[in-house]
């Protein structure tokens, strides 16, 4: 027996859905339940009267809800780290006291603290704090961590178009993130959409056609990565060429994706952007195919009017046959 009595470490799981959570997160990243970090292991013997989270009786302010909790036990001067808390740095406001990640307020002077969230894959489109790609809810602000809630109309339209084009849903995941739009072969199901386009604008200002086109184009990349073995077939390679050339999909010139029409230049490509790389060629073919609901007759009539060459017809036939084949398998 050890001299110190063993206390069970409280398991850091959401009480509602059992997802693992990090200590002092505000919300469960799966179900969005508000979390409460009480002093269940009796580390400090004190909880805030207001928010019930663990505090030290030496504190003057609750570092979680920011309210004043000063009483006779409070330290008259800022301390570095009272029992139960680690010293990670000094208070940003300069009171001299120590603070620990992820305290929102200094427990000594009550001023707001900001922290870089290290070790996260990305940032929340609502509060800019760290989130991981698999999170549904931001653990900091409790909003949709993917940002899908910012583009509901475009997502609805995309889902409807995929359904009428007879494309089965694969487990793609749309994420609004800073930077460029694209899909990487490392994470073929993650479709990153440049959030600059949506942020700071009212929903009414967003061009839903453009967002829908952008989403369809990126879904084309994801679809291709998802069915990568297909790119080895002779028919695919004759139509689209060698898609395996090293290439990081980063679509920065997506203004063109708003157009649902076929461009008249470049007879062997459906749009000018399609000519930039075989993977873009496929993504543009996919976008047009789905945007036009898989109606080849209508598309082919337009190709005829715009003097497209045989290769463009063949690209759409290759895709159409493959979509039909996928349907037949199940
Ligand atoms: Zn949960
Ligand atoms: Zn509190
Ligand atoms: Zn302070
Ligand atoms: Zn957030
Ligand atoms: Zn692309």
Cα angle 317, 323, 147 (rounded to 5 degrees) comes to: 115
Point out the least confidently predicted range of 173-187, 191-205, 257-271, 272-286. Answer: 191-205
Ligand 2 (single-atom ion) residues, CB below 5 Å = 48, 50-51, 62, 64-65
Identify the nearest ligand to the CA of 32 by its number. Answer: 1
Identify the nearest ligand to the CA of 225 by its number. Answer: 5
Identify the nearest ligand to the CA of 19 by its number. Answer: 1
Cα angle 215, 218, 221 (rounded to 5 degrees) comes to: 150
- Please list, residue by residue across 260-283, b when 16 or more beta carbons sit within 10 angstroms of its beta carbon and e when fewer do: eebbeeeeebbbebbbeebbbbbb
pLDDT grade for 245, boundaries at 50, 70 and 90: confident
Centre of ligand 2 from the C-alpha of residue 69, in Å: 8
Entry pTM: 0.86
pLDDT the model gives residue 92: 94
Point out the least confidently predicted range of 12-26, 57-71, 154-168, 235-249. Answer: 235-249
- Report whether pLDDT(125) > 60: yes
Q: What is the rounded distance in angstroms from the CA atom of residue 112 to the CA atom of residue 319?
A: 55
Q: What is the rounded distance in angstroms from the CA atom of residue 85 to the CA atom of residue 45?
A: 12
pLDDT grade for 1, boundaries at 50, 70 and 90: very low
Instruction: For the chain, give the number of residues.
Output: 330
pLDDT the model gives residue 140: 97
Task: Please state, rounded to an integer, the average pLDDT across all residues of the chain.
Answer: 90
Find where tokens 């084949």 sit.
325
pLDDT tens across 175-221, in order?
Answer: 999 887 888 888 899 999 988 877 655 555 567 888 899 999 999 99
pLDDT the model gives residue 330: 42
At 222, give phi and psi (nearest 5°).
-60, -45
Centre of ligand 3 from the C-alpha of residue 82, in Å: 14
pLDDT (mean) for 158-181: 92
Identify the nearest ligand to the CA of 191 by its number. Answer: 5
- Report whether pLDDT(243) > 70: yes
- Report whether pLDDT(259) > 80: no
Q: What is the DSSP letter of 10?
A: P
Q: Which residues contact 202 (CB under 8 A, 6 or more apart)?
A: none
Q: What is the rounded distance in angstroms from the CA atom of residue 108 to the CA atom of residue 97?
A: 6
pLDDT the model gives residue 48: 97
pLDDT the model gives residue 7: 58
pLDDT the model gives residue 2: 47
Centre of ligand 4 from the C-alpha of residue 121, in Å: 13
Name which residue leads in pLDDT, 253 or 290.
290
pLDDT grade for 5, boundaries at 50, 70 and 90: low
pLDDT tens across 101-122, in order?
Answer: 999 999 999 999 999 999 999 9
DSSP element (H, E) containing 152:
helix 152-164
pLDDT (mean) for 146-164: 94
pLDDT the model gives residue 255: 60
Name which residue leads in pLDDT, 28 or 249.
28
Q: What is the DSSP letter of 303?
A: H
Centre of ligand 1 from the C-alpha of residue 176, in Å: 22
278 token code pair: 């075989």
């Amino acid at each position: 027996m050890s001299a110190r009595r063993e206390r069970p470490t409280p398991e850091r799981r959401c009480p509602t859905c059992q997802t693992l959570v990090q200590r002092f997160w505000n919300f469960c990243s799966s179900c969005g339940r508000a979390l409460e970090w009480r002093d269940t292991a009796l580390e400090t013997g004190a909880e805030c009267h207001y928010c019930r989270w663990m505090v030290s009786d030496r504190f003057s302010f609750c570092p979680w809800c920011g309210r004043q909790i000063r009483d006779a036990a409070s330290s008259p001067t800022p301390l570095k780290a009272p029992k139960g808390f680690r010293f990670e740095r000094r208070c940003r406001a300069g009171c001299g006291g120590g603070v620990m990640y992820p305290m929102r307020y200094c427990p000594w002077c009550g001023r707001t603290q900001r922290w870089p969230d290290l070790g996260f894959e990305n940032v929340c489109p609502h509060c800019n704090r760290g989130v991981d790609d698999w999170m549904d809810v931001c653990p900091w602000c409790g909003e949709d961590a993917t940002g899908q809630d910012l583009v509901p109309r475009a997502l609805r339209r995309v889902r409807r178009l995929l359904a009428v084009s007879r494309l089965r849903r694969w487990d793609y995941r749309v994420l609004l993130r800073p930077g460029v739009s694209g899909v990487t072969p490392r994470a073929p199901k993650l479709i990153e959409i440049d959030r600059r386009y949506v942020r700071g604008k009212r929903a009414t200002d967003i061009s839903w056609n453009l967002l829908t086109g952008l989403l369809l184009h990126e879904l084309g990349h994801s679809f291709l990565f998802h069915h990568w073995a297909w790119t080895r077939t002779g028919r695919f390679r004759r139509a689209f060429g060698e898609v395996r050339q090293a290439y990081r999909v980063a679509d920065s010139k997506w203004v063109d994706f708003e157009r649902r029409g076929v461009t008249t230049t470049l007879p062997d490509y459906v749009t000018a952007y399609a000519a930039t790389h075989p993977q873009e060629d496929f993504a543009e073919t996919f976008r047009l195919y789905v945007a036009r609901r898989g109606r080849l007759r209508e598309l082919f009539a337009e190709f005829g009017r715009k003097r497209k060459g045989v290769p463009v017809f063949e690209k759409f036939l290759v895709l159409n046959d493959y979509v039909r084949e996928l349907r037949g398998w199940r």
